[in-house]
């Protein structure tokens, strides 16, 4: 399958859209393709991207062959065939092709994406019901990311919350559920290596979730134009082994009350967690 | 047969070239304006590409107008891509395809003497000119031009994120250009319904007219929605209202920024078809003309264009998959979006079948028509990934999206518009363009255009976000720097290949070889019943139409007339008439 995909896409002239993972830390990496996937569910997206690439590559080749043959063989010297294509036989080809694309290419996309969206990516109640789910609140602002973990009281939006700037620390192997807002303009929370993207909107709260499969540092990007320094709205996701994460959180919680500043309005962006469990 | 109200055209300079109500003059006004803005928008694109090739480095030549040390700053960069997008969509493609080609073609191709409302037509152009003046003024405004992106999402586009006077001017300009478009749209719709020559039934109209007519219907339905969004945004900017401003507290809303996105995309998705339908129509005709074959399954093509027109209003949600849409609604928009592939494939196969077994002549308009089919094919296919939620989540806001909509909305409309310009130029100016320069222009353009936008898909697939001043701030994108640089070189070469066109166009308009009445040997009314250029009021006597626009290579006609085409209003020698009717 890998080889078929490669030939088809290459031949399709889609230069180097090869389904090869390129490293998260980039430099020196010359390959072009999807960035490394470090999530439990990202493979669903990647597989659908690859399949569709193969299918549209084949359609493109068909189009190219048809055009090339017609234009090289049926030139001025060749007298035109008088046909209107209005008969039943004439309509069969366009309608048949349209049905083929709709049922096969679109059908594959629709069936798989609706399954993945309904059961996995946007199925928040299932994830939140898992006892090991970690909840984090995110605030996007020009041009930084704030993250909020509940303090020892276990509640959000209270003085003992742990707050980090531009660094999201999560454990590997546990689902992480995010609620995301913005305090100025629209941003978009984008974790390319975890295949997560959702807008951060002022006035409402968006949700996302992921589960990381390996330790390491990965980039968080803002995907929505949010002003002059949009391009610098970069954060980091640090995926830690469970024990290391626990000790970091305990340490941070121990100091969080001391870091709380009654007068700092801008730090009070939190909200009490919006529970979506059934 | 001359009728008393066919008075001669105005002779004074001002009324002949400026305040004319003649659709052919207004078409030329839109043509020159559209080409000027195309040049401006193209130069802005070159500067964006420079920035991606050499982030933050001094721009050669064009750097002079940037001031400072001649390098693009983060804030001037936001102005560049915002103005590029708005100018190209509303002040370049729209006037070229709808203002110029629409104005020139509709009355001529249906056998009318002018638009239904010639004076409204003139007002439409001068309203456009007013909006164009605001666009130019925005570049000189305090704190710079508009910077919130062509999509103008609030709150970024309100005073919260874009306090410059240029942003206000551009929102106002959008509103005004919308008014101009609506005036034109109403005029086109009424003209087609009321002013078709006798015998010009809907099913005998050239596909060009079909495309322009459907576009006008979409314009009249959906541009008012853009207008209302723009007006509310202007109020938010100037009058202190909060339609789109949510306030600074998370989760506690006043106005709703998402409301703007709904309004914008209810308009914005049909806008893609507003721009492409005229090009679809044009290439439907040109492929038949230059293949010397009837357009394959004409009714199917018309039906497919109409189906796309209808469905285009029902799919806009695919622009908001990551804006927190409910899964049920999202999947509804997804299936409707994917359903557009059905009529699109019908169109496509009909085009390919038209050139199949044709007697293809590769004149410059034909080359551009084939180029349109080619880039639209690629762009249509890469759109499937964006119509689907789970793949869109990954690709959303990457330059895959930018590559995709540039292939469909920019490259295809641009090539389709050029096909139309090369084709109708002799009728419009009474002179011929140079075919050798035309071919040079074509090959340079098609190769480089495809290279640039396909390469953008490759970079987007690797995760490169759009609208980044310096994409290589991100480690996971750093390896894309060489790809971006090469893409930019291709873009600069693409820009350079427009020079032969500019030279050819201007030289031919004033000093080209005189054109005959029907240099392409085709049967539509403007070529068979009017000289090049047509006189004021187009037709001395309105022709009576007898058949469709694509009657090529009919053996009976060949025998009766000794040529492979027949005019839409051409009478046949009576003996052969019976034979044609029986045989065809
Ligand atoms: Cu941002
Ligand atoms: Cu759309």
Tens of pLDDT, residue by residue over B445-462, are 999 999 999 999 999 999
Q: Is residue B353 part of a domain?
A: yes
Same domain, A161 and A59: no
DSSP string, A163-178: EEESEEEEETTSEEEE
Q: Is residue A274 part of a domain?
A: no
pLDDT of residue A28: 41
Q: Is residue B296 part of a domain?
A: yes
Enclosing domain of residue A238: 132-262
Q: Is residue A271 part of a domain?
A: no
Give the pLDDT band of residue A257 (cuts 50, 70, 90): confident
CA distance B383 to chain A (A): 10
pLDDT in tens, B465-485: 999 999 999 999 999 999 999
Judge: A35–B341 Cβ closer than 8 Å, yes or no: no
The span from the CA of B560 to the CA of B539, in Å, is: 27
Q: Where does B292-398 have alpha helices with state H?
A: 298-311, 327-339, 341-355, 364-387, 389-395
pLDDT of residue B6: 65
Q: Is residue B528 part of a domain?
A: yes
Q: Is the ipTM of this complex over 0.95?
A: no
Q: Residue A6: what are its φ and ψ, rounded to 5°?
A: -65, -45
Q: Is residue A11 part of a domain?
A: yes
Same domain, A116 and A152: no
Same domain, A192 and A254: yes
What is the number of helices (H) and of strands (E) in chain A?
6, 10
Same domain, A114 and A195: no
Q: Is residue A198 part of a domain?
A: yes
pLDDT of residue B135: 97
Same domain, A139 and A252: yes
pLDDT in tens, B77-118: 999 999 999 999 999 999 999 999 999 999 999 999 999 999
Ligand 1 centroid, distance to B459 Cα (angstroms): 20
pLDDT of residue B245: 87
Same domain, A136 and A258: yes
pLDDT of residue B3: 57
pLDDT of residue B249: 56
CA distance A21 to chain B (A): 9
Domains in chain B, number: 1
pLDDT of residue B255: 84
Per DSSP bridges, beta strands A235-240 and A167-171 are parallel
Same domain, A70 and A180: no
Q: Is residue A38 part of a domain?
A: yes
Contact B391/B318 with Cβ under 8 angstroms? no
Q: Is residue B14 part of a domain?
A: no
pLDDT in tens, A219-249: 999 999 999 999 999 999 999 999 999 999 9
CA B151 distance to own-chain centroid? 17
pLDDT in tens, B362-379: 999 999 999 999 999 999
Contact B301/B347 with Cβ under 8 angstroms? yes
**Other Cβ atoms closer than 10 A to B32:** 14
Q: Is residue A152 part of a domain?
A: yes
Q: In chain A, what residues touch B341 (CB-CB under 8 Å)?
A: 98, 101-102, 105-106
- Stated as kind and residue range, the H or E segment containing A145 is strand A144-149
Same domain, A109 and A61: yes
The span from the CA of B93 to the CA of B261, in Å, is: 23
Q: Does B259 touch chain A (CB under 8 A)?
A: no
What is the pTM (predicted TM-score) of this model? 0.93
Ligand 2 centroid, distance to A113 Cα (angstroms): 18
Q: Is residue A99 part of a domain?
A: yes
The span from the CA of B249 to the CA of B241, in Å, is: 17
Report the CATH number at residue A214: 2.60.40.420
Which of B62, B78, B81 has the alpha carbon at shortest distance from B70? B62
Contacts of B37 (CB under 8 A, 6+ apart): B87, B88, B91, B92, B95, B132, B135
Q: With 80 as the cut, is the pLDDT of residue A164 above it?
A: yes
Same domain, A110 and A161: no
Q: Is residue B2 part of a domain?
A: no
Q: Is residue B9 part of a domain?
A: no
Q: Is residue B186 part of a domain?
A: yes
HEC per residue, B444-467: HHHHHHHHHHHHHHHHHHCCCECC
The span from the CA of B450 to the CA of B444, in Å, is: 10
Same domain, A60 and A146: no
Report the CATH number at residue B346: 1.20.210.10
Q: Is residue B174 part of a domain?
A: yes
Same domain, A208 and A149: yes
Which of B320, B329, B216 has the alpha carbon at shortest distance from B273? B216
The span from the CA of A139 to the CA of A121, in Å, is: 21
CA distance A257 to chain B (A): 22
Judge: B355–A71 Cβ closer than 8 Å, yes or no: yes
Give the pLDDT band of residue B13 (cuts 50, 70, 90): confident
- Give chain A's mean pLDDT: 87
Nearest to A74 among B359, B398, B457 (CB): B359
Domains in chain A, number: 2
pLDDT of residue A1: 40
Q: Is residue A269 part of a domain?
A: no
Enclosing domain of residue B409: 21-583
Nearest to B477 among A26, A63, A78 (CB): A26
The span from the CA of B455 to the CA of B411, in Å, is: 14
């Amino acid at each position: 399958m890998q080889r078929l995909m490669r030939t088809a896409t290459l031949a399709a002239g889609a230069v180097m859209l090869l389904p090869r993972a390129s490293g998260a830390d980039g430099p020196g990496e010359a390959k072009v393709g999807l960035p490394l996937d470090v999530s439990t569910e990202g493979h669903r997206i990647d597989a659908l991207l690859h399949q569709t690439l193969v299918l549209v590559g084949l359609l493109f080749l068909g189009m190219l062959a048809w055009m090339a043959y017609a234009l090289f063989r049926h030139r001025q010297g060749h007298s035109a065939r008088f046909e209107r294509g209005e008969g039943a036989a004439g309509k069969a080809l366009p309608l048949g092709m349209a049905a083929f694309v709709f049922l096969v290419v679109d059908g594959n996309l629709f069936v798989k994406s609706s399954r993945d969206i309904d059961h996995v990516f946007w199925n928040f109640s299932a994830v939140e019901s898992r006892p090991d789910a970690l909840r984090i609140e995110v605030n996007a602002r020009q041009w930084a990311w704030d993250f909020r973990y509940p303090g020892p009281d276990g509640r959000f939006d209270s003085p003992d919350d742990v707050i980090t700037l531009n660094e999201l620390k999560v454990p590997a192997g546990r689902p992480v559920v995010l609620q995301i807002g913005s305090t100025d303009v629209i941003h978009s929370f984008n974790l390319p290596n975890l295949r997560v993207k959702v807008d951060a909107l002022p006035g409402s709260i968006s949700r996302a979730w992921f589960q990381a499969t390996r330790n390491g540092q990965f980039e968080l990007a803002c995907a929505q134009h949010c002003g002059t320094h949009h391009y610098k709205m970069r954060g980091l996701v640090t995926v830690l082994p469970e024990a290391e994460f626990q000790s970091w959180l305990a340490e941070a919680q121990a100091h969080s009350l001391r870091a709380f500043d009654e007068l700092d309005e801008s730090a009070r962006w939190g909200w009490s967690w919006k529970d979506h469990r059934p | 047969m001359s009728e008393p109200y066919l008075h001669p055209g105005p002779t004074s300079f001002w009324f002949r070239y400026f305040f004319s109500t003649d659709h052919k003059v207004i078409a030329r006004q839109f043509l020159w304006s559209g080409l000027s803005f195309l040049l401006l928008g193209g130069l802005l694109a070159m500067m964006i590409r420079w920035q991606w090739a050499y982030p933050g480095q001094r721009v050669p030549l064009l750097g002079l107008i940037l001031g400072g040390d001649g390098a693009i700053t983060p804030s001037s960069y936001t102005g560049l891509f915002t103005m590029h997008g708005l100018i190209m969509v509303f002040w370049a493609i729209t006037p070229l395809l709808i203002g110029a080609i629409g104005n020139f073609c509709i009355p001529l191709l249906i056998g009318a003497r002018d638009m239904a409302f010639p004076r409204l037509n003139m007002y439409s152009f001068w309203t456009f000119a007013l909006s164009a003046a605001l666009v130019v003024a925005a570049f000189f405004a305090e704190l710079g031009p508009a910077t919130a992106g062509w999509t103008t999402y609030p709150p970024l586009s309100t005073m919260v994120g874009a306090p410059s006077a240029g942003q206000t001017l551009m929102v106002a300009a959008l509103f005004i250009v919308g008014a101009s478009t609506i005036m034109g749209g109403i005029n086109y719709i009424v003209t087609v319904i009321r002013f078709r020559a006798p015998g010009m039934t809907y099913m005998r109209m050239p596909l060009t007219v079909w495309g322009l007519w459907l576009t006008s219907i979409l314009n009249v339905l959906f541009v008012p929605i853009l207008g209302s969004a723009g007006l509310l945004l202007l109020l938010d900017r100037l009058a202190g209202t909060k339609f789109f401003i949510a306030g600074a507290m998370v989760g506690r809303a006043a106005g709703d920024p998402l409301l703007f996105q709904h309004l914008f995309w209810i308009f914005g998705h049909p806008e893609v078809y507003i721009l492409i339908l005229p090009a679809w129509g044009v290439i439907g005709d040109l492929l038949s003309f230059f293949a010397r074959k009837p357009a394959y399954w004409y009714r199917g093509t018309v039906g497919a264009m109409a189906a796309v027109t209808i469905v285009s209003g029902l799919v806009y949600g695919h622009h908001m998959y990551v804006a927190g849409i409910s899964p049920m609604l999202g999947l509804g928009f997804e299936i409707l979006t994917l359903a557009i592939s059905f009529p699109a494939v019908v169109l496509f196969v009909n085009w390919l079948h038209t050139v199949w077994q044709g007697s293809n002549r590769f004149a410059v308009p034909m080359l551009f028509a084939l180029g349109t089919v080619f880039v639209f094919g690629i762009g249509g296919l890469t759109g499937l990934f964006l119509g689907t939620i789970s793949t869109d989540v990954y690709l959303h806001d990457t330059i895959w999206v930018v590559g995709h909509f540039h292939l469909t909305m920019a490259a295809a409309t641009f090539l389709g518009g050029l096909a139309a310009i090369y084709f109708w130029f002799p009728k419009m100016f009474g002179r011929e363009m140079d075919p050798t320069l035309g071919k040079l222009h074509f090959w340079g353009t098609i190769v480089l255009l495809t290279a640039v936008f396909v390469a953008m898909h490759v970079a987007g697939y690797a995760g490169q976000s759009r609208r980044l001043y310096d994409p290589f701030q991100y480690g996971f994108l750093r390896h894309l720097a060489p790809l971006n640089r090469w893409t930019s070189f291709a873009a600069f070469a693409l820009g350079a290949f427009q020079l032969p066109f500019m030279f050819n166009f201007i030289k031919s308009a004033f000093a080209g070889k005189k054109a005959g009445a029907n240099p392409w040997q085709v049967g539509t009314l403007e070529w068979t019943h009017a000289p090049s250029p047509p006189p004021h009021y187009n037709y001395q006597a309105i022709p009576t139409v007898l058949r469709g626009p694509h009657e090529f290579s009919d053996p009976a006609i060949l025998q009766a007339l000794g040529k492979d085409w027949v005019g839409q209003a051409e009478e046949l020698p009576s003996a052969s008439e019976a034979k044609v009717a029986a045989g065809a």
